[in-house]
Amino acid sequence: MSQAELPRLTVIGTGYLGATHAICMASLGYDVVGLDVDDRKIQKLRSGEVPFFEPGLPELLAKTLESGRLRFTTSYAEAAEHGDVHFICVGTPQQPGLDACDLSYVEAAVRGLAPHLTRRCLVAGKSTVPVGTAPHLLGLLRELAPAGVEVELAWNPEFLREGFAVDDTLRPDRLVFGVTSEWARERLTAAFRPILDLGTPTVVTDLATAELVKMAANSFLATKISYINAMAEVCEATGADVRDLAQALAYDDRIGGRFLQPGLGFGGGCLPKDIRAFAHRAEEIGVGQAVSFLREVDAINRRRRSRTIDLVRELLGGRLDGARIACLGAAFKPNSDDIRDAPALDVARTMHGLGATVRVYDPAALDNARRMYPELRYGTSAMDVARDADVVVLLTEWAEFRQIDPTVLAQVVRRTRIVDGRHALDADVWRSAGWEYRALGRP
């Protein structure tokens, strides 16, 4: 397909998902306009700065800006004028105090774009939404767009992982096209041509299935993590070792070892809110029982956080107040600065609330953590926060924490006691260096 035949793309919402999608599609040769209502974000992107931590993305942004194929705007009129295919990539966070997700950003994006759509085009939703959202959005589009029925809607869920976002976007393990016409399918095919040419498996389906795929995938992953963490609870009661158990399960290739790492459990902007929104939506449509296990998956995951604090308390002889605790990690997972529903910060804040002096270090998420939780203390390195600590708690498994030399760390702490919340360290090495080592689900 020549450059002239490539559809022109817009990406609405330039957060983790949208910025990555816009930059990656421009790097594949598409002419892309990225839109956000947050002017500061747009200014940053225009000047070549990625507003969040994502390996490889700043380099790709620089390259694509230079190519002239990528522009950023806050104007819906400009986006509508440019795009043949408009990708909706705005967030769908959990509603405060509720399990349902907040669709107001998706709706605002459609309401912002639609009045400027004056010619035939495809709007493709990428945001994670409850099943049944698309027909409502299509109704809005057709009601508000001057082009009326010429505007079509497709659903194209996105499965990228933070920390691997560029690779997951350029070389996804599958594409899902939820469409209602051959034309929409053809448009999406044209919009992903270079990725399809890699032989990427593609599922073409209806809108409802496409909406469901993402919720189903994230629910499965969350369930797998909570499954192994439930086994950790059984191990704790029996003196068994969940690490060996997980390893033995992983050799069964029907089970597989991925997402079977026991520990502090899952967090982030997706898994926790998606399983809650899914359970909520299922209840609304009368099939709550079918996914009621997701409530248990959530409960197991929450217990990991309190059990981790129990381990710290045990090491401290029963009391947290007055103790000096070094927390290694704040991000919800390594290679990210994202602290949304981060288990690490949840644990740190709870221990602070219980009267401990908590000092936190994270290689990437410190600015975000400081802004959100100014009540905690922060340090400049693992060594720095560990100084005079009564206990060290590893909460996010960054590579640099795995590489810590226990004999060196032993020189700065007050007591050589460590809770490995992520099963990231070699227990034998730490114990032989004189540390009291504890991890969930291990003797």
Residues that bind ligand UDX (CB under 6 A): 158-162, 218, 221, 225, 259-261, 263, 265-268, 270-271, 332-333
Report in angstroms the alpha-carbon separations of 15 from 247, 289, 394: 36, 34, 28
Residue closer to ligand UDX by CB (options 40, 258) is: 258
Q: State the minimum distance, in angstroms, from the CB of residue 249 to ligand UDX.
A: 12
Q: State the minimum distance, in angstroms, from the CB of residue 378 to ligand UDX.
A: 21
Residue closer to ligand UDX by CB (options 83, 268) is: 268
Residue closer to ligand UDX by CB (options 52, 437) is: 52
* Three-state DSSP state, 71: strand
Q: State the minimum distance, in angstroms, from the CB of residue 268 to ligand UDX.
A: 4
Residue closer to ligand UDX by CB (options 17, 80) is: 17
Residue closer to ligand UDX by CB (options 161, 387) is: 161
Backbone dihedral angles phi then psi of residue 75, each to the nearest 5 degrees: -100, 120
- Return d(Cα 128, Cα 123) in angstroms, integer: 15
Q: State the minimum distance, in angstroms, from the CB of residue 333 to ligand UDX.
A: 4
Residue closer to ligand UDX by CB (options 77, 234) is: 234
- Using an 8 Å Cβ cutoff, are 430 and 406 in contact? yes
- Return d(Cα 247, Cα 283) in angstroms, integer: 36
Catalytic member of 24, 121, 235, 270:
270
Q: State the minimum distance, in angstroms, from the CB of residue 373 to ligand UDX.
A: 18
Q: Which helix (H) or strand (E) holds 154?
A: strand 151-155
Report the half-sphere exposure of 19 (CA within 13 A, side-chain side). 26
* Three-state DSSP state, 271: helix
Instruction: Based on the residue annotation, tell me whether 24 is a catalytic residue of this protein.
Output: no
355, two tokens = 């009267």
Q: State the minimum distance, in angstroms, from the CB of residue 440 to ligand UDX.
A: 11
Nearest CA among 225, 205, 172, 253 for reference residue 332:
225
Residue closer to ligand UDX by CB (options 19, 221) is: 221
3-state secondary structure 397-435: CCHHHHCCCHHHHHCCCCCCEEEECCCCCCHHHHHHCCC
| Calculated CA dihedral for residues 347, 351, 357, 360, nearest 10 degrees | 0
- Using an 8 Å Cβ cutoff, are 369 and 360 in contact? yes
Q: State the minimum distance, in angstroms, from the CB of residue 270 to ligand UDX.
A: 3
Q: State the minimum distance, in angstroms, from the CB of residue 52 to ligand UDX.
A: 12
Neighbours of 299 (CB within 10 A): 11
In degrees, to the nearest 5, what angle opens at C-alpha 87 toward C-alphas 21 and 95? 95
* Three-state DSSP state, 438: strand
The amino acid at 434:
G
Residue closer to ligand UDX by CB (options 44, 333) is: 333
Contacts of 292 (CB under 8 A, 6+ apart): 279
Q: State the minimum distance, in angstroms, from the CB of residue 406 to ligand UDX.
A: 23
Q: What DSSP assignment string belongs to 360-393? A: EE-SS-HHHHHHH-TTSEE-SSHHHHHTT-SEEE
Q: State the burial class of residue 127 (Cβ atoms within 10 Å of its Cβ: 0-12, 13-18, 19+).
A: buried
Residue closer to ligand UDX by CB (options 161, 370) is: 161
Neighbours of 407 (CB within 10 A): 14
| Residues marked as catalytic | 270
